[in-house]
Chains A and B, each alone.
Chain A
Amino acid sequence: MQTQTQVVPIRTPEQSSGDDIPTVLQPDGTLNEAHDPKLELSEVLDLYKAMVRTRVIDGQLERLQRQGRIGFHIGSLGEEACIIGSAAAMREQDWIFPCYREFGALLWRGFPLQSYVDNMYGNVDDVVQGRQMPDHYTGRPYRFGSVSSPIGTQITQAVGFSWAAMSKGSDEVSSVYFGEGATSSSEFHTGLNFGGVMNSPTIFLCRNNRWAISVPSEKQTASESFAAKGIAYGVPGVQVDGNDVLATYKVVREAVEKAAKGGGPTLIEMLTYRVGGHSTSDDPRAYRVQDEVERWRKTDPILRMKLHLEKIDAWNEEQDEAFKKECEAELKACIKAAEAKEKPPLETMFDGVFAEKPWHLEEQQAELLSGPRAKDHH
């Protein structure tokens, strides 16, 4: 694996793996030993299952949104390997700062599926009681941050957080996710600069999924790659085949170990593709050709791993079907439970603005509670 920046302009799926970019799993399922992280078979199966579970959930949530049962979903179809591989590479003591497309990482961390579904419904059992949109979850007990919509804000925060841990003598490392679009935000540049100067144990995880809503990656930068942006900040930048869960795992793990030993931050560009729309509010047919999507589907991260597992006789179609059914049933039960739950009580609206409620919020809360109720317009 090269640790210095590679500058390869990536425009097509065919370029997203190859000599310069570490790939373990070939699209036909064969294994490239040179970069293999050599995980136990049970660990490899866990990665595979987590990717499949993520995809099953994505599909169902999209359906729920179409049926009007939830308001919104932002999925990760096609990006499962880079999300699960990078999350798995974080050690137990490490922290994850999410963007908004990484519920797979949240669940990998052990966040209960029921809690996640409660967040999709914004019901009374949602950790933040329906204050935020669906897919804006928070998971401190799982060493997982809190999703914010504004692009890029989490990047500098991860620098400060990981530096704080280091300053206390801890070896905790923090990773932070963002899309390639976010590399245009000032938070990205400030984050890399601060991380470089402060030598913070931060893993900058750029999901280069080619599209920022309708804007293609070549309109986001004139650089030859997103990894190359590390050069200016003295932060090593590497590319990895982000549709290869094993390669992603390996590259991220090495960066984590280096950071934990005081070796500073790494920028990792994970080459992948957003197969679905940006979110349930988006229809990508308006701005991209289907042929491009089909070509990327051939490098599908789940398919690749499945072929591999089948080749080594560790998994078969029957098991696959059974596992998907299991995931569907688990999710269905959570949805049923979430739909039976109440909305958060009115007074929760005024909780958590401050640690203690000041007079004006007491007054407004009383006014709301004693006043007339809104019709449910939705």
Chain B
Amino acid sequence: MAEMNLVQAINGALASEMRQNNDVVVLGEDVGKVGGVFRVTQGLYDEFGENRVIDTPLAEGGIIGTAVGMALYGLRPVPEIQFADFIFPAFDQIVSEVAKFRYRSGGEYTCPMVIRTPVGGGIRGGHYHSQSPESLFIHTAGLKVVCPSNPYDAKGLLLSAIRDDDPVLFFEPKRVYRAVKAEVPEEDYTIPIGKAKVVREGNDVTVVAWGAMLFEALASATEVAEQGVDAEVIDLRTLWPVDIDSIVESVKKTGRLVIVHEAPKACGFGAELLSLAVEKCFVHLEAPPVRVTGWDTPFPYTLEMEYLPLQHRITPALLETAQYVP
């Protein structure tokens, strides 16, 4: 076991899967010689050569479109989109093609691929290097969506994603790319897609978070513990298909739910989670479920820390929800 950060764990998982499976190819802008602008693909070009680690021309539609063709033929492409904010030129390919191939061809053609892309704010990136567009893809039937918060999960989830027979969007929380470290086993292991993890057990209120916001939620849980509120924190890990059983089980226990995400509130994934909780746990709820999210504005530059749903906003939400009396 070695201590690694998120970048190293993802890099290591890619390398190990590429060694085991010759069909795995990486493609994207700057992924080759320089190893990606965040260095997540560092060393792969030297080890596997330019036919398996492809520096593409600057066109996301081209990256995903050619990845579709590769996948249809039988390869396992792992395209990288340099920032999730730049995924939109590929939106047509992802929504109209990647997501629908299995269904529309009766399974004759499938598009197994893992689209890796860094998401989230807090890095002084402004509008176009900070967004969290997960709900657009969750809304599109046929896509799995994953967002690990730590190196251990990242490796296990990435290996599952590459081996999955369906397309997976793999969102990497760039704010904690280097900040979160963990012991990561050298050997092969997978973490199943569709399984959340209770990272802190508690009885008073359930907090659901993922990616970089998980750490804010955990910090708030510690903070409210001093005031006698015992929060249960769930790291979703897979956003879609969501681990509804874990959420229901927790909410039945606590009766209270707080959802945290960076994306704007309107039609954010929190809206779906909240609806599911109401549909499935209505009689168990003891307080109105609450969303702590980014505001419904474009992602700002100077005021980004006031935009993000950080500890200072999660803590009061936990206290109010836990102490709510009808």
Contacts and interface: CB of A to CB of B under 8 A. Distances in A.
B312 A130 contact: no
Contact of A373 (B33, B34, B306, B316): B306
Contacts of B122: 377
A350 B33 CA distance: 42
Given A149-B129, A186-B89, A378 B59 contact: no
A185 B305 contact: no
B185 interface: no
Contacts of A187: 89
Interface of A: 71-72, 122-123, 126, 129-134, 136, 148-152, 181-182, 184-187, 212-215, 219-221, 281-282, 286-287, 343-344, 346, 348-350, 353, 360-361, 364, 368, 371-378
Interface of B: 29-30, 32-35, 37, 55, 57-59, 61-62, 85-86, 88-89, 122, 124-129, 265-266, 295-298, 300-303, 305-308, 310, 312-313, 315-316
Contacts of A373: 306, 312
A372 B313 contact: yes
Given A122-B301, A131-B298, A346-B303, A213 B34 contact: yes
A215 B300 CA distance: 29
A-B pairs, top 6 by smallest CB distance, nearest first, are A130-B302, A133-B126, A149-B128, A184-B57, A214-B34, A122-B302
B306 A214 contact: no
Contacts of A129: 302
Contacts of A122: 301-302
A374 B126 contact: no
Contacts of A282: 37
12 contacts: A133-B124, A133-B125, A181-B57, A182-B58, A349-B307, A360-B266, A361-B295, A372-B313, A374-B308, A374-B310, A375-B312, A376-B305
Given A184-B57, A186-B61, A350 B295 contact: yes
A345 to B, nearest CB: 9
A193 to B, nearest CB: 15
Contacts of B265: 364
A372 B220 CA distance: 14
Nearest to B295: A364
Contact of B303 (A184, A185, A343): A343
Contacts of B29: 212-213, 215
A185 B306 contact: no
A221 B129 contact: no
A150 B88 contact: yes
B57 A133 contact: no
A184 B296 contact: no
A5 B312 CA distance: 60
A353 B303 contact: no
A286 B34 CA distance: 6
Given A136-B126, A149-B127, A214-B30, A343 B302 contact: yes
Contact of A346 (B62, B85, B266, B306): B306
A219 B57 contact: yes
A374 B300 contact: no
Tell which of B33, B126, B306 has the most Cβ of chain A within 10 Å: B126
Nearest to B316: A372
Contacts of B34: 213-214, 286-287
A208 to B, nearest CB: 13
Given A219-B55, A281-B37, A374-B306, A361 B296 contact: yes
B55 A215 contact: yes
A349 B295 contact: yes
A148 to B, nearest CB: 7
A344 to B, nearest CB: 6
Contacts of B129: 133, 149
A48 to B, nearest CB: 33
Contact of B301 (A132, A212, A374, A376): A132
